């Protein structure tokens, strides 16, 4: 999946000479947490977060605080240089940036110009899509040996029952490198024939499990 398919293209920006007060207003009005700072050529030269702005403000405990700080230019508090991504980058790759750098958003830049933003929220939304939980479906978890060709074997059983697969995730099986857990979300209310098929093929089901076997 490409960044351009999940990014927000209507980005609220400020020039470096805007005041901190302006930034504060934009953050509040638009319920956003970051504003990229761009020059006249729409090139990203910095970024400010709501935390940067709050840090620049006098403490709310000080009643007669001097509000003069709010008139300072935003470029005095912005962070730079800015880590940016390209619209053709993979979502999977930029997930690492979010994780490793602990960012909450990254600007998307093409030909040196700002073209979009990706936030943590976009990333989570994409994750929900990947899990398939947004579509009516039942979940089946199968423990399989980690070897080539195993996925189509299990998927074939589902296909043979004429049921659509909404999503497939492959998880590690604890610390055991010999096995994997395949998680399918299948578009049916009656997964029983599939479950029977998977059992008969000799695979181990983790869900529905046969530990308690309460169903008679």
Query: How many of the other CB atoms lie within 10 Å of CB of 166?
Result: 20
Are residues 82 and 113 in contact, defined by beta-carbon separation less than 8 angstroms? no
Which of 10, 162, 177, 200 is the binder for other proteins (CB under 8 A)?
Answer: 162
Size of the site for other proteins (CB under 8 A): 26
d(CA 85, CA 201): 45
- Smallest CA-to-CA distance from 107 within 208, 8, 215 is with 8
Residue 207, interface with other proteins (CB under 8 A)? yes
Chosen residue from 17, 79, 133, 210 binding other proteins by CB under 8 A:
133
* Stretch of 30-38, 48-56, 59-67, 133-141 lying at the interface with other proteins (CB under 8 A): 133-141
Which residues, 6+ apart, have CB-to-CB distance to 142 below 8 Å?
Answer: 154, 181, 182, 184, 198, 203, 204, 205, 206
Measured from the CB atom, is 67 or 134 closer to other proteins?
Answer: 134
For residue 200, state whether it binds other proteins (rule: CB under 8 A). Answer: no
Minimum gap (Å) between residue 163 Cβ and other proteins: 5
Beta carbon of residue 211, minimum distance to other proteins (angstroms, whole number): 8
| Member of 2, 124, 135, 170 binding other proteins (CB under 8 A) | 135
Q: Cα(194)–Cα(197) distance, rounded to whole angstroms?
A: 5
**Residue 104 contacts residue 123 (beta carbons within 8 Å):** no
Dihedral sign, Cα of residue 92, residue 114, residue 112, residue 110: positive
Query: Which segment (18-26, 38-46, 91-99, 185-193) binds other proteins by CB under 8 A?
Result: 185-193
23 near other proteins, judged by CB under 8 A: no
- Nearer to other proteins by Cβ, of 79 and 136: the residue is 136
DSSP-derived secondary structure for 59-78: PTT-TT--GGGGGSBGGGT-
Binding mask 103-132 for other proteins (x = CB under 8 A): ------------------------------
Q: Which residues bind other proteins (CB under 8 A)?
A: 133-139, 161-164, 185, 187-193, 207-208, 212-216
């Amino acid at each position: 999946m490409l960044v351009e398919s999940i990014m927000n293209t209507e980005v609220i920006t400020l020039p470096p000479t805007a005041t901190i007060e302006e930034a504060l207003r934009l953050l509040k009005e638009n319920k956003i947490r970051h504003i990229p700072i761009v020059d006249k050529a729409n090139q990203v030269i910095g970024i400010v977060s709501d935390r940067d702005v709050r840090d620049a403000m006098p403490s709310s405990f000080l009643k007669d605080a001097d509000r003069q700080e709010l008139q300072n230019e935003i470029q005095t508090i912005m962070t730079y240089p800015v880590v940016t991504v390209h619209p053709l980058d993979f979502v999977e790759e930029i997930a690492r940036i979010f994780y490793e750098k602990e960012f909450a958003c990254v600007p998307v830049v093409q030909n040196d110009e700002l073209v979009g933003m990706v936030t943590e929220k976009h990333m989570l939304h994409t994750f929900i899509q990947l899990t398939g939980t947004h579509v009516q479906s039942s979940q089946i978890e199968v423990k399989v040996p980690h070897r080539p060709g195993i996925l189509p074997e299990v998927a074939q059983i589902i296909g043979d029952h004429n049921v659509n697969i909404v999503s497939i995730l492959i998880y590690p099986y604890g610390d055991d490198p010999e096995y994997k857990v395949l998680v399918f979300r299948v578009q049916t209310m009656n997964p029983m024939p599939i479950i029977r098929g998977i059992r008969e093929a000799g695979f181990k089901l983790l869900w529905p499990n046969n530990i308690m076997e309460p169903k008679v």
